[in-house]
Structure 1
Amino acid sequence: MPALTRPSRRARLTHTVGLMVALATAAATPAVAAPQNQRLTVVELFTSQGCSSCPPADANLVTLSRRPDVLALSFSVTYWDHLGWRDTFGKPEFTRRQYAYEPQLGERGPFTPQMVVNGRISRVGFNLAEIEHAISSAPTLSGPHITLGSREVSIGRGAEPAAEADIWLVAYDPNIVEVPVRRGENSGRTLPHVRVVHRLERLGGWDGMPLRIARSETPPGLRTAILVQLPSGGAILSAVTE
């Protein structure tokens, strides 16, 4: 894959065996929904159907999505679309989200596949052992309590952040979606995706004081998550999902 800013020369290893094992494990393990008030670890995968190194990471996210203590989210970026295949889930706002993370995480630029844990830790997404270690070592989210209703979101009182935190609504598909790729680096392959994000919307800001904020209705078939996060790619303070 040709270089962009720094994309993944390091992520071009072949992990076919790991992919097969991850898919087999995922298929054998039933998905479990997390209760709203459980302290979650947020794992964001930045991926692309046009990246030959991404399928093992997509499979790893399937495995992680089975854990009730993990909120796994898949963001499809757009900067590999020029390689011959336009990612069917890619949106510019997802690419912007990844770009915002990189300076905060000490990365020189975006790459795929990248997993970000709680907005604090960056790892290459195809190494499941490294991701699981990052999850186990990540500080527990200790931000405000979130109540997610059908028409509004309530954020509780908490320590005032240094800068107003963002309140993000994330609408995602909880199911595994099989995507046949007809061109580009993954031509001829059918790639499984899970927890694909379809919408990312900033609802407002949180300054430590309790508030209620209206939310739009989630389209049928999708689920909603709410993230309270420090601005400009900062740490995630709290998270909840349906």
Structure 2
Amino acid sequence: MKPIKIFAFTAAIAITALVSAAFINHKTLAPKENVKATGAGFVVVELFTSEGCSSCPPADELVAKIQKEDYNKPVYILAFHVDYWNRLGWKDVFSNADYSKRQNEYARWLNLQSVYTPQIVVNGKKEFVGSQEGTLRNAITEGLRTMAAGTLALSAQREQGSISVQYQTKDVAKNTSLLLALVQKTAQTNVKSGENGGHVLSHVQIVRKLQSQPLDKSGNGAVTIALPDGFNAQGWELVGFIQNTSSGAILAATKYEFSTGVAK
């Protein structure tokens, strides 16, 4: 575990609801909706990692194993590559300062004195070292057994260079935001320097773009997301979730598979 002190930033991102959805085909088409039933639990696993950190590959391998085992369960893995390791010998091509800010916001929400890699946060409520398999499995079991608070429905349409997403929620409380993450499912990097120099690292569920939308009383609206370079419908998905901007708790989540047009 590599602790690195970083000042906490303020951010906004949100609460309330369960999941359901339907979206997009990789060709332009009319949006369709597929609302998932309320009641079952869900789990959002956020891994904060870096290619420059020698302690991170075991955590990357762990979430890859969990992804394979729990593919048909409402377990949504998001790998955020932070940027504060970039100055220490290797620049992570997937890193983004916004992801470091998000991790610092969790430090504020969870009353931590510092952030570190690899770190996992589950449903915005529990954090621990990202390579602790038993702790992660227990947190997933607990999350799947916890009743969801409401519903989230998404539909989307592919446009030229962007995606138009429509959303509907029920029972939305105050201080909540909808977060939409464009995720690249797999990638490999030949790391040439830094702590992992000389190794080929494999990654899963890499967040390539994260966009937030504050929710109003209606709980309904639309947002446009610009597609990042390298987007490929066969190897990407969209994960949506609702988070409380005061506590960090996540109470609804769903994902959409671009390759199949199926919401889970």
TM-score norm. by structure 1 comes to 0.79
The Cα of 1:186 is off from its aligned counterpart by 0.5
- Select the residue among 184, 198, 207 that pairs with 2:194: 184
- Select the residue among 217, 229, 232 that pairs with 1:220: 232
Alignment deviations for residues 171-194 of structure 1 (CA, whole Å, 9 cap, x no partner): 0112x2111110000111111100
Point out the more displaced range, 152-161 or 109-118: 152-161
| Structure 1 segment 88-237 matched on structure 2, within 5 A | 88-138=93-143, 139-150=146-157, 151-161=164-174, 163=175, 165-174=176-185, 176-202=186-212, 204-216=213-225, 218=227, 219-221=231-233, 222-231=236-245, 234-237=248-251
Give me the whole-angstrom Cα distance separating, in 1, the residues matched to 2:50 and 2:79: 10
Asked whether the equivalents of residues 153 and 169 of structure 2 are also in contact (C-alpha less than 8 Å), the reply is yes
Question: Aligned residues, how many?
Answer: 210
Match status 1:4 vs 2:19: no
**Cα gap change, 1:205 to 1:2, in 2 (>3 Å):** closer
Asked whether the equivalents of residues 172 and 219 of structure 2 are also in contact (C-alpha less than 8 Å), the reply is no
Structure number with the bigger relative contact order (C-alpha 8 A, sep ≥ 6) is: 2
Give me the whole-angstrom Cα distance separating, in 2, the residues matched to 1:178 and 1:196: 11
Partner of residue 25, structure 1: none
**Cα gap change, 1:2 to 1:238, in 2 (>3 Å):** closer
Give me the whole-angstrom Cα distance separating, in 2, the residues matched to 1:190 and 1:107: 32
The Cα of 1:140 is off from its aligned counterpart by 4.1
Match status 1:86 vs 2:69: no
The Cα of 1:147 is off from its aligned counterpart by 2.1
Alignment deviations for residues 126-182 of structure 1 (CA, whole Å, 9 cap, x no partner): 111110111112344323322232232222221523x2x1111100112x2111110
Give me the whole-angstrom Cα distance separating, in 2, the residues matched to 1:233 and 1:189: 38
SS of 2:36's equivalent in the other structure is coil
Task: Return the letter of the residue paired with 1:54.
Answer: C
% identical aligned pairs: 30
Give me the whole-angstrom Cα distance separating, in 1, the residues matched to 2:132 and 2:253: 24
Asked whether the equivalents of residues 148 and 241 of structure 1 are also in contact (C-alpha less than 8 Å), the reply is no
Partner of residue 37, structure 1: 36
Higher strand share: 2
Give me the whole-angstrom Cα distance separating, in 1, the residues matched to 2:89 and 2:149: 43
Q: Which runs of 5+ in 2 are unaligned?
A: 7-33, 158-163, 257-264
Asked whether the equivalents of residues 3 and 117 of structure 2 are also in contact (C-alpha less than 8 Å), the reply is no
Asked whether the equivalents of residues 41 and 141 of structure 1 are also in contact (C-alpha less than 8 Å), the reply is no
**Cα gap change, 1:232 to 1:199, in 2 (>3 Å):** farther
Asked whether the equivalents of residues 118 and 129 of structure 2 are also in contact (C-alpha less than 8 Å), the reply is yes
Partner of residue 54, structure 1: 56
Q: CA RMSD in A?
A: 2.2
SS of 2:140's equivalent in the other structure is helix
